[in-house]
Amino acid sequence: GAVVSQHPSWVICKSGTSVKIECRSLDFQATTMFWYRQFPKQSLMLMATSNEGSKATYEQGVEKDKFLINHASLTLSTLTVTSAHPEDSSFYICSARQGADGEQFFGPGTRLTVL
Amino acid sequence: KQEVTQIPAALSVPEGENLVLNCSFTDSAIYNLQWFRQDPGKGLTSLLLIQSSQREQTSGRLNASLDKSSGRSTLYIAASQPGDSATYLCAVNQGGKLIFGQGTELSVKP
């Protein structure tokens, strides 16, 4: 099956710093990638959808200037949490899809802790 | 706005029992529905995907059904094992986006 990786798997940073999370599709080309966040004991909430070579589409309530998404190639998307604060601490999961109707394949997630 | 609800929120059963997890959604205009498993602190593992034109899908001890008109899906797990303990999430695909339920946390006791 299709494999999606995320790096790092966990990160701890100080308040005010920026953190970059990478999402890679290892064995297929992902025309679309999705970023989700998940708080403890809660479900996944879609943050944004990114298509290769174009600007990401953010869900309502998600600050685009705080969560910068870049999808520069068909196998890599990055999420940068800028000026992170403790309330940004969460589990961030990406998924990748090949084609308009393809199944989404999920990465293993990145645990972000902001001190 | 699509809303996905899963009942129960948590379930504890003894090993060997058959069990059913429920998922309901408010808007029947979906492309497909998917069931996932999530272990603590981990990502999602896809279990079954049912297209909107299908009624059910089976994989091993798992069987998922879909009644699109009534906005319901069930995940049936036969002969449960301690290794089945995890959170089970259902998600509907609407317009290419997945909308998730809150999940059912399953614990299978040996």
Model pLDDT for residues A41-100, shown as the tens digit of each residue: 888 999 999 988 888 999 999 999 999 999 888 899 999 999 999 999 999 999 998 876
Window 29-58 of B: residues touching A by CB (8 A cutoff) are 31, 34, 36, 41-46, 49
What is the distance between the alpha carbons of residues A81 and A103, in angstroms, rounded to a whole number?
27
pLDDT tens sequence across B1-49: 899 999 999 999 999 999 999 999 999 999 999 999 999 889 999 999 9
Q: Which residue of B5, B52, B98, B99 to mutate against A (max A Cβ within 10 Å)?
A: B98
**Residue B53 to residues B28, B30, B32, B49, B69, Cα–Cα distance (Å):** 12, 10, 8, 12, 11
Position B108 scores a pLDDT of: 97
Q: Is the pLDDT of residue A30 over 90?
A: no
What is the distance between the alpha carbons of residues A47 and A9, in angstroms, rounded to a whole number?
19
- Considering only the beta carbons, identify the residue of A46, A101, A106 that sits closest to B44: A106
Confidence of residue A1 (pLDDT cuts 50, 70, 90): low
Contact B100 A44 (CB under 8 A): yes
Residue A108 touches partner B, C-beta closer than 8 Å: yes
**Residue B49 to residues A8, A113, B59, B91, B96, Cα–Cα distance (Å):** 29, 33, 10, 10, 14
Contact A43 B103 (CB under 8 A): yes
> Phi and psi dihedrals of A39, rounded to 5?
-90, 160
Position B20 scores a pLDDT of: 96
List chain B residues with CB under 8 Å of A109: 41-43
- Considering only the beta carbons, identify the residue of A32, A100, A106 that sits closest to B43: A106
Position A17 scores a pLDDT of: 96
Quick check: A106 and A91 in contact, CB under 8 A?
no
Tokens of A112: 């972000």
What is the distance between the alpha carbons of residues A110 and A78, in angstroms, rounded to a whole number?
12
